[in-house]
Each structure stands twice: as C-alpha cells, then as structure tokens.
Amino acid sequence: MNRYRYSRVEKKHSVRHLPRRLWLDVPRTQGNQHKQWVIFPLTYFVIYRIVIPTIDGIIRWNITMPTPLEKARKDPDSMKARILNKARIIFGQYGFHGATTRMIAEEVGIDISTMYYHWGEKSDLYEAVVLDINEDLKTKLLEVENIIHGMPLAKRIEISFDIMIDYLFEHSEISNLILFRYFTKTRDESALDFHVPEVITDIARSMGMAKDRKNVPNEVRMLVLALMNAMHNFVSGEDFFRSMLKISKEEYIRLVKETLNYIFLPSFAGVRPKTEAD
C-alpha cells in the first residue's frame, strides 16, 4: 500500500479550496496525522500572499520602469545623456564594429565601468543610439511638416531642403550611421533599425505626392530614396567634397541646397529653379 495515500476523512478535513497540487500529505504514522493541517495553510499563505504578489510586483515594476534612453532624453545634462551623445558621434565616425567602448569612455572622460553601469554592453548602447536618432528624425520631420503645411509644392520642397540640410549638417552622425548601416556589410544582427520605410512615406505625404501613408507608388518611393541618398551623401562626404572644391563649410552647404533644388524640384514639382548660370 502507498504510504502517502490519504483517506476520504483526511480529505474532508483538509483545506479543500486549495489546488490539489499544493496538498502536502505526510506518511500516516503515529504522531504526525495532523501535521498536514498546519502545513496546508502555511503553504497557501507563502505562495498566494507572498510569492505571487512579489513576482507580480517585479513584473509590473520592470514594465513601468523608464529605459536608460528615456532617462537620457528626459535629462540632457545627465551622465547617461553625455555618454549617449558621444556614442552617436563615435559610432557615426567608425561604425558599430570600428567603435569601442574604451573610445567612447575616453571621449566622455570616464572609465569603462561607469559606462557599463549606465548603458550595459556596446550593443545595448548602439541600439539606444539608433532609437535616439529615429526619434530625432521623426520629431524634425513633424516640425518641418507643420511649417510647410498648406504652401505650394515648390515652396514646400525649398523650405524642407533648407531646414533638413541645416539639421543634418549640425548632426552629421545621423547621415554617417545611416550610410554605415545600409551600404556596408555588418555582423551586427540587432532587431532594431532605422525606420526608412516610415520616413519615405512621411516625406511623400508631406510633399503631396501621396494621399496617405498606405498608398505610396514605388515610383514615388524611388524619388524619395534618391533624395534621401543624395542628402546623406553630401553630408557624410563633406570633408572629401570640400577638399575637391576648396571652399568653406558655409559655401559648401549653400551649394548643396542649390544643387538639390536644381535636381529634385523638376522631379517633385515640375519647376526648374534658377541658378547663377541663368
């Protein structure tokens, strides 16, 4: 006979509302017949009143706890934000595999352990940089769209070029990182990426070339991709192109805007802008 079986009488006097898997029976020998009556309530109390609420609280705390990126964006003067800003520049100059945590830490003026404390592994910091740039681009595009709303298409394009080119030259790491990400081979398998499809549809809609984001023809997408590629290449290749042309930064930016208008105004608005040669 199984020493651990219990009788119907014992079942009747047990804590019957408990799940059966929590019942803890002991061998029915002299002196321990009533031990289970003490163990049952204690088991219930520990599991249902302590363990489960504690686990639930930990899960809720992790869900609602702000991420390091959210903390950095909320407090631009914090150490997290300082590390993030330098990481954007270093990753933009050397790419994910060319940059090291030591390079970033030295640029900030801290030791590596401090950087790991705030951001963890290099891949975690890189993913935060990608997300940060995505958020900045979305914010800037919305700002531009609010400015150009209701204007004629040719005027919208000129103002958009003027604002976005100035912004990209001030934050050249954005163009550098995008070109590193899409035009070079990488071993990084991060699930996070730059939201290029979303940017394409937003630009096409704001330019009046698509009624909504869901219905953007491929011909329009290619025009927007050509525009984005030209802008990023002019920004990322500034040092190389300026050395060829032997001009100042201000003159180079002016020529970039003029060139982009000359190329893309006819494509987007059917208008050929005037140049100094005209």
Q: What is the pLDDT of residues 40-70, one digit of tens each?
A: 555 655 665 666 667 666 656 555 677 888 8
Position 188 scores a pLDDT of 52
Q: Which two tokens stand for residue 273?
A: 């802008």
The pLDDT tens digits of the residues spanning 82-91 come to 999 999 999 9
Position 10 scores a pLDDT of 44
Is there a single domain that holds both residue 40 and residue 114? Answer: no
Is there a single domain that holds both residue 14 and residue 49? Answer: yes
Mean pLDDT on 69-78:
88
Is there a single domain that holds both residue 95 and residue 195? Answer: yes
Q: Among residues 45, 64, 83, which one ends one of the domains?
A: 64
Is there a single domain that holds both residue 36 and residue 100? Answer: no
Range of the domain at 101: 68-269
Is there a single domain that holds both residue 60 and residue 123? Answer: no
Position 82 scores a pLDDT of 93
Mean pLDDT on 248-261:
93
Is there a single domain that holds both residue 49 and residue 122? Answer: no
Position 226 scores a pLDDT of 87
Residue 278 falls inside a structural domain = no
SS (H, E, C) 32-56: CCCHHHHHHHHHHHHHHHHHHHHHH
Position 146 scores a pLDDT of 86
Residue 2 falls inside a structural domain = no
Q: Which two tokens stand for residue 277?
A: 């040669």
173 Cβ contact list (under 8 Å, min separation 6): 88, 89, 91, 92, 93, 133
Is there a single domain that holds both residue 113 and residue 189? Answer: yes
The pLDDT tens digits of the residues spanning 8-50 come to 444 444 444 444 444 444 455 545 444 444 455 556 556 656 6
Question: Contact, 104 vs 83, CB < 8 A?
Answer: yes
For residue 158, give the nearest of 258, 274, 28, 11 by alpha carbon. 258
Residues 21, 25, 27, CA angle at the centre, nearest 5°?
A: 150
Is there a single domain that holds both residue 139 and residue 79? Answer: yes
**When comparing pLDDT for 261 and 36, which is higher?**
261
Residue 275 falls inside a structural domain = no
Is there a single domain that holds both residue 73 and residue 87? Answer: yes
Position 263 scores a pLDDT of 86
Please state the domain count of the chain: 2
Is there a single domain that holds both residue 47 and residue 136? Answer: no
Residue 122 falls inside a structural domain = yes
Residue 50: how many other CB atoms lie within 10 Å: 10
Confidence of residue 240 (pLDDT cuts 50, 70, 90): very high
Is there a single domain that holds both residue 134 and residue 155? Answer: yes
pTM given for the model: 0.68
Position 264 scores a pLDDT of 84
Is there a single domain that holds both residue 171 and residue 197? Answer: yes
Q: Among residues 48, 64, 80, which one ends one of the domains?
A: 64
Q: Which two tokens stand for residue 265?
A: 């105004």
